[in-house]
């Protein structure tokens, strides 16, 4: 039997624990809404899509496991270029200032990298805002 890939934008229950925190439940988001930007960015057209991508990537990666872009893509259904952009967003202060680690998987010459998001309680920015 061949495993089915999730539809684009669909995060399966198998890929994210039900107890995973929402990005916007974190203390640094209680009074702020993330703002995307860029020359082609149009809030009316892009906010829902980009926010959904960001939440799916954060929800999956909040377990602290190492994953390649392809593994994240397989779990979320989002394209790897978008995933890479959302991982960069998570590093920005306005998106939580999370520590996103990157390391080579296997031989460096192959160019395959994997990423890990520090869990929220380990994030210096989150602990600064915690009650």
Q: Are 115 and 87 in contact (CB under 8 A)?
A: yes
Global confidence as pTM: 0.68
All structural domains of the chain with their residue ranges:
43-129
CATH architecture of 43-129: Orthogonal Bundle (1.10)
From first to last of the 131 residues of the chain, give the pLDDT tens digit: 444 555 555 554 444 444 445 555 555 454 455 578 888 888 888 889 999 999 999 999 999 999 999 999 999 999 999 999 999 999 998 888 899 999 999 888 999 999 999 865 544 444 443 43
SS3 5: coil
Q: Distance (Å, rounded) from C-alpha 120 to C-alpha 112?
A: 26
So what's the pLDDT on residue 81? Answer: 95
So what's the pLDDT on residue 78? Answer: 97
């Amino acid at each position: 039997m061949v495993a089915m890939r999730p539809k684009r934008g669909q995060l399966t229950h198998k890929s994210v624990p039900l107890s995973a925190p929402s990005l916007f439940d974190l203390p640094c988001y209680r009074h702020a809404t993330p703002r995307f930007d860029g020359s082609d960015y149009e809030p009316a057209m892009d906010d829902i899509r980009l926010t959904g991508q960001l939440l799916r990537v954060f929800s999956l990666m909040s377990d602290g496991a190492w994953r390649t872009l392809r593994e994240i893509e397989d779990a979320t259904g989002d394209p790897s270029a978008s995933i890479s952009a959302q991982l960069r967003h998570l590093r920005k202060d306005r998106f939580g200032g999370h520590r996103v680690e990157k390391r080579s998987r296997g031989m460096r010459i192959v160019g395959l990298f994997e990423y890990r998001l520090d869990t929220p309680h380990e994030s210096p920015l989150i602990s600064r805002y915690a009650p």
